[in-house]
A and B are shown apart, each in its own frame.
Chain A
Amino acid sequence: MAQLNLLHAINSALDIAMAENERTVCFGEDVGHFGGVFRATSGLQEKYGKARCFNTPLVEQGIIGFANGLAAQGSVAIAEIQFADYIFPAFDQIVNEAAKFRYRTGNEFNVGKLTIRTPYGGGIAGGLYHSQSPEAYFAHTPGLKVVIPRNPYQAKGLLLASIRDDNPVIFFEPKRLYRASVGEVPEEDYQLPLGKAEVVQTGTDITLLAWGAQMEIIEKAAQMASNDGISCEVIDLRTILPWDIETISRSVMKTGRLLISQEAPLTAGFASEIAATIQNECFLHLESPIARVCGLDTPYPLALEKEYVSDHLKVYEAIKKTVNF
């Protein structure tokens, strides 16, 4: 096994996907020879040619429109949106087109072979237009799958599963971890399941739930809490849509408490959906209100980023408050 960072793990997954099927195509702004602004597609054009890995004009709605057509034709379309903050010009092509393609055509056509990769999240001094976590917008759209990995191993296995899944998938990559997160990653092909959360650490007093870059935050907070004698069960949701209600419910029935941490603003974030469902599933098992540690209901700040974002200290305080309710 090699030690890879998250970018290299993604690059390795793309390499495998392109090698196994000559109809797999990667494209987006600066994705070609340059290898993407973060270098996720580095070396792919040299290896597979300009026809299969290329730059597109600077037009997100065009990139996803093109990707929809390409996937409908039967090619494997892997489109990159340079930053998740810039995905909104493509909102119509994602929400009205990709998500509804199979349904509206009665399964005459589908874009199951579409995967959209995009870096999301804060922590890179990116301000309001290079830091957003827009997963909840897409989680509100039946027909899409939304996947977010937490480390290099997860990134490779989940991306390969996303590319091969027969539904359109938005794959949000935690850009703060692109180079910061390094871990053991098998060189060979492997997949991790979509729609399945992973219990990262078992515990008995409270369930901590997050996804992507927030995972290391809640793991750190769980460590702090354990020094206080609080036993935390830590879960990575991994797939936001469709999400694994069963694993979360089972955990909360055991611990009686749930805390969800997300980077996105509080109101109508995906944590809200989880809270509503879990109170319904686990009402009689709950010993305290479900806690949400989130960003404020403001645009993502620049100078005050540290104060804004859900960090291990905010999560630690929320754990104590919930346990002592």
Chain B
Amino acid sequence: MSTELYNDGPVVHKPTFIDGHSVEIPELRILQQDGTTYPNADLPDIDQTLAIKIYHTFAFHRVFDERMVASQRQGRLSFYMTALGEEAASVGGAAGLQPQDMIMMQYREQGALMFRGFSLKNFMNQLFSNADDLGKGRQMPIHYGSKELNCMTVSSTLATQIPQATGYAYGQKLQGLDAVTICYFGEGAASEGDFHAGLNMAAVQEVPVIFFCRNNGYAISTPADEQFRGNGIASRGVGYGIKTIRIDGNDILAVLKATQIARAYAVKEHKPVLIEAMSYRLGAHSTSDDPSGYRTKEEEAKWQANDPILRMKNWLVKQNWWDEAQETALFEKLREEILAAVKVAEVIDKPHIDTMITDVYDVPSAQLQAQLDEVKAHINKYPEAYPFTAGKF
């Protein structure tokens, strides 16, 4: 191996600098806000069944986010994160894959789990950190995950999932599986070292991973122009020698099309793809955040007019696959189901005290057992101070 790998430019004899913005990156748009597709646009592989499944997921997502923010405001839930305005990225990504493909989320991709069929009950149990939570009540709300559905559990540590996705996909390739890994992250997380590590290793080791950047303009309060220079995140993919596409992230058909092509390429060529989806975080970063301190209502209004869910609905209506009566009935039904699920999950017990020491190792050590026994003896001495666990072991 030598520098011939990349040194294919002309030799010059006068200094020639390349401008940081000189890479021109087109943005794929298929669906317009009024529900018509652009003339000559390449449509994704989608039929009525898939379209309705996506739209049902969208509806569930929207109502779920709305109800859970309300629950947090009522003091029933400690914390929540919506994906308002960005639903097409996660739902469309999942819809463009196969069930055996691994999804590695950042934290705003509940739409992917919803599309895969993570149950309402599972969502609620996680949000309320109760005894039935698959994660055993150990992580803050929104840190969902499911082995059964091939959705890696969310971790708060930003961008760590990126090199992990590269490794996961390498394992899939090694086994010769018809499977890829998709890895979500935001444009803010793309500043972390793990982003660069993960993309470079994926390019060099040639692994079937789809890096999906949700460029939503903000990392909590920090706008993209204070996060990076250069032509977005997509230009970095080019730098790493990765096949790259930029798409309108609020366009479900563009997300689906790009993901379908990326998957086919990744499986066939065993090589990574980078998708940069341009979108906007319409909601707050989390329920602990208030965007009015760092951005204007006018800016938000501009993006509200780009609502990806309304855009898809307009398309479905034009296809005669959806109407207002169905819309009203679906949203009403979802509100009732979600409200009922909150009431069930919030009264389920906290996890048993023994789960404090399980899963640290495959088997708890004698030392951990002794530490737990000490805590139990203490609880028995002061039961009124530990109401969740006293008398329950």
Please state if B157 and A109 are interface contacts (CB–CB under 8 Å). Answer: no
Q: In this complex, what residue of A is CB-closest to B358?
A: A107
Q: Indicate if A271 sits at the interface (CB-CB under 8 A).
A: no
Please state if B155 and A104 are interface contacts (CB–CB under 8 Å). Answer: yes
Q: In this complex, what residue of A is CB-closest to B149?
A: A108
CA distance A25 to B169 in the complex (A): 14
Q: Indicate if B193 sits at the interface (CB-CB under 8 A).
A: yes
Q: Indicate if A67 sits at the interface (CB-CB under 8 A).
A: yes
Rounded to whole Å, the gap between the CB of A156 and the closest CB of chain B is 23
CA distance A93 to B164 in the complex (A): 9
Q: Indicate if A105 sits at the interface (CB-CB under 8 A).
A: yes
Please state if B147 and A109 are interface contacts (CB–CB under 8 Å). Answer: yes
Q: In this complex, what residue of A is CB-closest to B367?
A: A242
Rounded to whole Å, the gap between the CB of A87 and the closest CB of chain B is 14
Please state if B365 and A195 are interface contacts (CB–CB under 8 Å). Answer: yes
Q: Mark A61-74, 1 if CB is under 8 A from B, else 0.
A: 11011111111111
Rounded to whole Å, the gap between the CB of A91 and the closest CB of chain B is 11
CA distance A143 to B357 in the complex (A): 10
Q: Indicate if A106 sits at the interface (CB-CB under 8 A).
A: yes
A9-17, A50-58, A198-206 - interface stretch:
A50-58
Please state if A70 and B168 are interface contacts (CB–CB under 8 Å). Answer: yes
Rounded to whole Å, the gap between the CB of B189 and the closest CB of chain A is 13
Number of A-B pairs, beta carbon distance below 8 Å: 153
The answer to whether A61 and B171 touch (CB under 8 A), given A104-B155, A106-B135, A245-B367, is no
Please state if B201 and A56 are interface contacts (CB–CB under 8 Å). Answer: yes
Residues of B contacting A297 in the complex (Cβ-Cβ under 8 angstroms) = none
Please state if A166 and B194 are interface contacts (CB–CB under 8 Å). Answer: no
Q: Indicate if B167 sits at the interface (CB-CB under 8 A).
A: yes
Residues of B contacting A195 in the complex (Cβ-Cβ under 8 angstroms) = 365
Please state if B133 and A65 are interface contacts (CB–CB under 8 Å). Answer: no
CA distance A65 to B170 in the complex (A): 12
The answer to whether A54 and B205 touch (CB under 8 A), given A106-B134, A106-B359, A167-B361, is yes
Pick the most buried of B162, B171, B198: most chain A CB atoms within 10 A of its CB: B171
Please state if A108 and B134 are interface contacts (CB–CB under 8 Å). Answer: yes
Please state if B133 and A97 are interface contacts (CB–CB under 8 Å). Answer: no
The answer to whether A59 and B201 touch (CB under 8 A), given A65-B162, A66-B166, A74-B171, is yes
Interface residue from A51, A57, A245 paired with B204 (Cβ < 8 Å) = A57
Which of A103-128 touch B at CB < 8 Å? 103-110, 112
CA distance A105 to B194 in the complex (A): 21
Q: Indicate if A314 sits at the interface (CB-CB under 8 A).
A: no
Q: In this complex, what residue of A is CB-closest to B170?
A: A70
Please state if B360 and A103 are interface contacts (CB–CB under 8 Å). Answer: yes
Please state if B139 and A67 are interface contacts (CB–CB under 8 Å). Answer: no
Residues of B contacting A262 in the complex (Cβ-Cβ under 8 angstroms) = none
Rounded to whole Å, the gap between the CB of B282 and the closest CB of chain A is 29
Residues of A contacting B135 in the complex (Cβ-Cβ under 8 angstroms) = 104-106, 108
Please state if B153 and A66 are interface contacts (CB–CB under 8 Å). Answer: no
Interface residue from B160, B165, B175, B201 paired with A96 (Cβ < 8 Å) = B160
Please state if A97 and B171 are interface contacts (CB–CB under 8 Å). Answer: no
Please state if B166 and A65 are interface contacts (CB–CB under 8 Å). Answer: yes
Residues of A contacting B168 in the complex (Cβ-Cβ under 8 angstroms) = 69-70, 72-73
Please state if B174 and A112 are interface contacts (CB–CB under 8 Å). Answer: no
CA distance A65 to B185 in the complex (A): 15
Interface residue from A75, A77, A97, A105 paired with B160 (Cβ < 8 Å) = A97
Q: Indicate if B136 sits at the interface (CB-CB under 8 A).
A: yes
Rounded to whole Å, the gap between the CB of A76 and the closest CB of chain B is 10
Pick the most buried of B175, B197, B360: most chain A CB atoms within 10 A of its CB: B197
Q: In this complex, what residue of A is CB-closest to B370?
A: A245
Please state if A73 and B205 are interface contacts (CB–CB under 8 Å). Answer: no
Q: Indicate if A23 sits at the interface (CB-CB under 8 A).
A: yes
Q: In this complex, what residue of B is CB-closest to A195?
A: B365
Please state if A103 and B359 are interface contacts (CB–CB under 8 Å). Answer: yes
Please state if A65 and B197 are interface contacts (CB–CB under 8 Å). Answer: yes
Interface residue from B147, B170, B367 paired with A69 (Cβ < 8 Å) = B170
Please state if B153 and A70 are interface contacts (CB–CB under 8 Å). Answer: no
Q: Indicate if A89 sits at the interface (CB-CB under 8 A).
A: yes
15 contacts between A and B (CB under 8 A): A57-B197, A59-B193, A59-B196, A62-B198, A62-B200, A64-B163, A70-B170, A92-B194, A97-B160, A102-B359, A105-B135, A105-B145, A109-B145, A109-B152, A242-B361
What 6 A-B pairs come out closest when comparing CB atoms?
A65-B163, A69-B167, A62-B197, A73-B171, A69-B164, A66-B167
Residues of chain A having any CB pair with chain B under 8 Å? 23, 25, 51-52, 54, 56-57, 59, 61-62, 64-75, 77, 89, 92-93, 96-97, 100, 102-110, 112, 142-143, 145, 166-167, 195, 242, 245
Residues of chain B having any CB pair with chain A under 8 Å? 102, 133-136, 138-139, 143, 145-147, 152-153, 155, 157, 160, 162-172, 174-175, 181, 193-194, 196-198, 200-201, 204-205, 358-362, 365, 367
Known: A69-B171, A102-B360. 10 other contacts (CB 8 A): A59-B197, A68-B160, A69-B163, A70-B167, A96-B155, A100-B155, A104-B135, A104-B138, A106-B136, A106-B153
